[in-house]
Amino acid sequence: MSTCPALGTRYLMFISTLLASLPLVAGLGWPLDRPYVKPTQPVSEIIAVGDSFTSGVGSNGLLERFGGVAGRGLRSYPIQMVRDLDMWEIINGERKEPRLTFLAHHSDTTEDVMERQLVNDGPFQKDSWELARGAPFGNPQLAVMTVGGNDAKVAYLLNDCVFRAWRPQNCDDTINRTVSLLMSTEYESRLRDTMLAVIAQGRKARGAYPPESFQLYVAEYANIFNDNNPECDQIDWRLHSLSEITFLTRELRKKFTFLNTLMNAAAKRAAEGLKDKGVIYVDGINRHFDGHRFCEDGQTSQEMNHVNTWLWSHYSDTVTTDDPPLPSIRGRSPNARDTDFRRPWSRQVHDGIYEKVLLDFVFQNQTSNGTLFDSGAPPWTWPGADRYPDFDSLIKAMQATEATVGNMELYSFAAQLSIGGLDDLLKWGGRQARDVINYLLPFHMSRSFHPKGKGYQVMKERIFAAILQNREIAHKNRTITQHITGPVMLG
């Protein structure tokens, strides 16, 4: 696959602009020329950057979601990290939460991280979690990140191979293009440039002392399928009844596993090539998902929302008992009554709610008479479908609509759902009511194929294990046992 010169030029321009400013910081010099130094200071502040696996889009209900379209969740692994006082007592010698700057944003690519997350200097800003964009970088000692999945256009893979939601292309062609990208020097260079940009910004912020002791922990992505179980071979997750039928066959699932392996391998190579800059790759996450993916033996169904499955499916109810209750955080009580539909969400999916909502969005509520359905033609061939010529344009339009509704408005309108149910809200009408429906669709869809709280806990524990091995810590020479991932030898 050929590289993209324009994209490479933007990366080089960004890196050059960022690094050119660094010598102006008194006493800092050219920070990336200095070798990494193992940190000895306590961790008082961390920063989370990257994509939806770090933002924690897999929240258990709307009341756990914050940051607007950034899609952050209270069960994200960065928040689980800062709230684990037992671990911070081991690392720092005191039971105190470090400050957290939360910049990770749903759907962000490597380019977005550099051009939209690492752009604002300045000290830690309280309550910056609620800002979708624009929070200052702060003065952290370490960063955590997942990145690269959106560069690989995983959403396109799901559209073309699983959901067949809008203008799906040939699945094998999409997979082959993705393999070519993931094996290219271009993809690995994007990851490397992004990691270097985070390190440069971290050293510039001078929260770490010396600045060259700043660390970046890059976590691997978990595989989403058990690819050997035949129980899934006849499961069909199309969103449109008029789309070409597709099944979650073992062959398809093995291809998804292979793609994830390529993504992780590229990230690991990039990170390990930057060890001397303070980049640490965190692996071992995948093996702890064994037995907890989609299509596991004895846990396979059309809905795939078994309690031991640590990933959300698009059938999962808005709030489930899969994840334990959370304590109140910053005055928010996430365990309060959430959108409690009269019929379970999984039942509404069976009844075609995704199809109805998506088509109402595209065709501006002109699909109710059934004439277009009766034609038997896929909806992207209907009159008016040309306003969204590809899947990307449709997703961006829905995200833009989602952005028109603030969180407080959303909770107010969502409360209507618990009174009258989704059908009554559709009858309620009005622009804002329609926007809420368009917001709820991305909530269930965008969190699908993302970890539940247990999955994020695995990521938290593996990152902590890496921190314990790569920092001077307060309590040494003993072994601790984490809840899911097991024992870690300290020091």
- Decide which of 112 and 343 is more confident: 112
Q: What average pLDDT does the structure give for the chain?
A: 81
In terms of DSSP H, where are the helices of 327-406? 345-350, 353-363, 371-374, 391-402
Name the pLDDT band for 391 (thresholds 50, 70, 90). confident
φ, ψ of residue 72 to 5 degrees: the values are -85, 150
Which residues on adjacent β-strands are paired with residue 65?
73
**pLDDT of residue 153 exceeding 50:** yes
What average pLDDT does range 246-273 have in this prediction?
A: 98
Q: Residue holding tokens 């037992």? A: 86
Q: Residue holding tokens 């400013």? A: 21
The reported pLDDT for the residue numbered 23 is 43
Judge whether 378 and 240 are in contact, CB under 8 Å.
Answer: yes
Judge whether 56 and 48 are in contact, CB under 8 Å.
Answer: no
Residue 54 CA to its chain's centroid (Å): 5
Instruction: Tell me if 152 is assigned to some domain.
Output: yes
**pLDDT of residue 126 exceeding 60:** yes
Count of residues in the chain:
491
**pLDDT of residue 484 exceeding 80:** no
Residue 262 CA to its chain's centroid (Å): 18
Q: How far apart are CA 238 and CA 161, in angstroms?
A: 9
Instruction: Tell me if 475 is assigned to some domain.
Output: yes
What average pLDDT does range 6-19 have in this prediction?
A: 54
The reported pLDDT for the residue numbered 59 is 77
Tell me 76's DSSP state: S
Instruction: Tell me if 358 is assigned to some domain.
Output: no
**pLDDT of residue 426 exceeding 70:** no
**pLDDT of residue 255 exceeding 80:** yes
What average pLDDT does range 307-312 have in this prediction?
A: 92
**pLDDT of residue 27 exceeding 60:** no
Count the alpha carbons within 13 Å of 342 in the hemisphere toward its beta carbon. Answer: 9
- Decide which of 440 and 55 is more confident: 55
Instruction: Tell me if 474 is assigned to some domain.
Output: yes
The reported pLDDT for the residue numbered 233 is 97
Query: Cα-atom radius of gyration of the chain, to the nearest Å?
Result: 23
**pLDDT of residue 288 exceeding 70:** yes
C-alpha distances out from residue 489 to 41, 217, 281, 468, 486, Å: 20, 19, 18, 8, 10
Start-to-end Cα distance in the chain:
45
Name the pLDDT band for 396 (thresholds 50, 70, 90). confident
DSSP per-residue codes, 435-465: HHHHHHHHHHHHHTTSB-HHHHHHHHHHHHH
The enclosing H or E element of 17 equals: helix 5-21
Q: How far apart are CA 353 and CA 441, in angstroms?
A: 9
Instruction: Tell me if 443 is assigned to some domain.
Output: no
Both structure tokens of 93: 């010698």
The reported pLDDT for the residue numbered 477 is 61
The reported pLDDT for the residue numbered 409 is 40
**pLDDT of residue 187 exceeding 50:** yes
**pLDDT of residue 25 exceeding 80:** no
Which tens digit of pLDDT belongs to each residue from 41-50? 999 999 999 9
Q: Which amino acid is at 323?
A: D
Residue 3 CA to its chain's centroid (Å): 26
The reported pLDDT for the residue numbered 408 is 36
Q: What is the CATH number of the domain that holds 198?
A: 3.40.50.1110
Reported pTM:
0.86
The reported pLDDT for the residue numbered 345 is 59
Q: How far apart are CA 211 and CA 200, in angstroms?
A: 10
Name the pLDDT band for 478 (thresholds 50, 70, 90). low
Closest listed residue to residue 191, CA positions, set 230, 147, 226, 222:
147
Q: How far apart are CA 359 and CA 367, in angstroms?
A: 7
Both structure tokens of 324: 């334990």
Residue 14 CA to its chain's centroid (Å): 24
Q: What is residue 488's three-state secondary structure?
A: strand
Taking every pair of C-alpha atoms in the chain, what is the biggest distance, in angstroms?
72
| β pairing state of 479-482 and 72-73 | unpaired
What average pLDDT does range 213-219 have in this prediction?
A: 98
In terms of DSSP H, where are the helices of 102-243? 110-112, 154-158, 171-182, 185-205
Instruction: Tell me if 386 is assigned to some domain.
Output: no
C-alpha distances out from residue 4 to 8, 49, 127, 184, 232, Å: 6, 25, 38, 11, 38
Task: Provide the residue range defining the domain that includes 147.
Answer: 39-335+450-489
Q: What is residue 225's three-state secondary structure?
A: strand
Q: How far apart are CA 434 and CA 366, in angstroms?
A: 13
* Number of domains the chain contains: 1
What average pLDDT does range 100-109 have in this prediction?
A: 94
Which tens digit of pLDDT belongs to each residue from 323-347? 766 655 555 544 444 443 334 556 6
Q: Which amino acid is at 85?
A: L
What average pLDDT does range 359-372 have in this prediction?
A: 67
Tell me 48's DSSP state: E
The reported pLDDT for the residue numbered 402 is 57
Both structure tokens of 339: 């959108």
Q: How far apart are CA 125 and CA 106, in angstroms?
A: 21
The enclosing H or E element of 367 equals: none
C-alpha distances out from residue 83 to 68, 123, 473, Å: 22, 21, 18
The enclosing H or E element of 217 equals: strand 215-219
DSSP per-residue codes, 29-91: --GGGSPP----S---EEEEEESHHHHT---SSGGGEESGGG-EETTSHHHHHHT-HHHHHHH
Instruction: Tell me if 428 is assigned to some domain.
Output: no
Name the percent of the chain lying above pLDDT 90: 53
Count the alpha carbons within 13 Å of 314 in the hemisphere toward its beta carbon. Answer: 21
Instruction: Tell me if 187 is assigned to some domain.
Output: yes
